[in-house]
Amino acid sequence: MKKVTKVSFALGSLGILMIFGAILLQYKSFKNVEKKDNSREISMKDVESGTEEVIEEPSVVVDDTEITEITEEGTGDQEIEEVQGATVEEVTTPVYDDVTTIPVEPIVYDNMTMRQLAEKLNRSLKSTISGQGYLIASYSLELGIDPYLATAIILHETGCNSGTCSSLVRSCNNVGGQKGGPSCGGGAYKAYPTLEEGIKGYLDNLYRNYISHGLTTAEAIGPKYAASTTWASQVNGYIALVRNK
C-alpha cells in the first residue's frame, strides 16, 4: 500500500512539473514576440527621427541609367553580375533611300517606243500637219497599218514635207486625197471638220479599202489608190525618207 502511494505521488509531482514547464515556455514565447514588436516600433521611430540609417535596395547602373534589381519569384536571390560598365547597343531600323520606279516603255515598232516613233515621224511632218506624229503612229498601229507607209502616203498626197501643205489640207483637213462628201468647196474631195478627224478618216479608209484586203505595200495599193503609174515608187521614196530621219 505504501508502495502504491509513493508511485502516485511521483506521478503527480511529474505532472505538476510538466504543467509548470509548459507555462514557463508559453511565457518566454510571449516575451519574445513582445520584444520583436518593441524592437520594430523603436526602429520605425528611429527612422522617422533620422537616427536610424535607411538601407536602400541594391541597384545597378547601365550607361548612367539606374535599374532597380528585380528578383522574380522562384529565381532566388540571384544577383545581376557584370552589369556596370556594359554597353547597351542601340537597335536601329535600316534607312533605305527612296527609289523611284520609272516605268519601261514598250517597244511598239522598228525597235522603238511609241514616243520615239512619234518623234521620228514628226521630223518629216511640216506645215499644217506638223507635230501630228503621235496621232499617226498610235492610230496606225491600232488599225494594223505600217506607220511609215501611212506617213509616206500623206507626204505624197499633201506635199507637206517640202513646204506648205496643199489647199486641200489647209482648207478641208483632207490629208489623203480622199473623195466623197461632205464636199470640200463643192468639188469631188471630202472635207473634215478638224485635222484630227481628217487624219483618222484617212487611216480608216486606208485600212478598210486596202490593208484589210491584204494590200499592204505601195505596189499593191497603187493601182487602186491612184491613176499615176509612178505613185508606188514615189511613196516608197517617202518611206525611205521617213525611216532614215
What are the cell numbers at 62? 547601365
Amino acid 23: pLDDT:
75
Q: At what angle do helices 231-244 and 218-225 cross, to 10 degrees?
A: 140
Residues in the chain: 245
**pLDDT higher than 50, residue 70:** no
**pLDDT higher than 60, residue 29:** yes
217: three-class secondary structure by DSSP: coil
Pairing, β 107-109 against β 112-113: antiparallel
Confidence at 162, pLDDT banded by 50, 70, 90: confident
Amino acid 28: pLDDT:
65
Amino acid 100: pLDDT:
67
Give the percent of the chain with pLDDT over 90.
Answer: 56
**pLDDT higher than 50, residue 215:** yes
Average pLDDT of the chain, as a whole number: 79
Determine which of 3-12, 107-116, 130-139 has the lowest per-residue pLDDT on average: 3-12
Which tens digit of pLDDT belongs to each residue from 77-105? Answer: 444 444 455 454 555 666 656 666 778 99
**pLDDT higher than 60, residue 55:** no
Amino acid 134: pLDDT:
98
**pLDDT higher than 60, residue 64:** no
112 and 121 Cβ atoms separated by less than 8 Å: no
Amino acid 10: pLDDT:
64
176 and 205 Cβ atoms separated by less than 8 Å: yes
Determine which of 9-13, 28-32, 121-125, 195-199 has the lowest per-residue pLDDT on average: 28-32
Confidence at 170, pLDDT banded by 50, 70, 90: very high
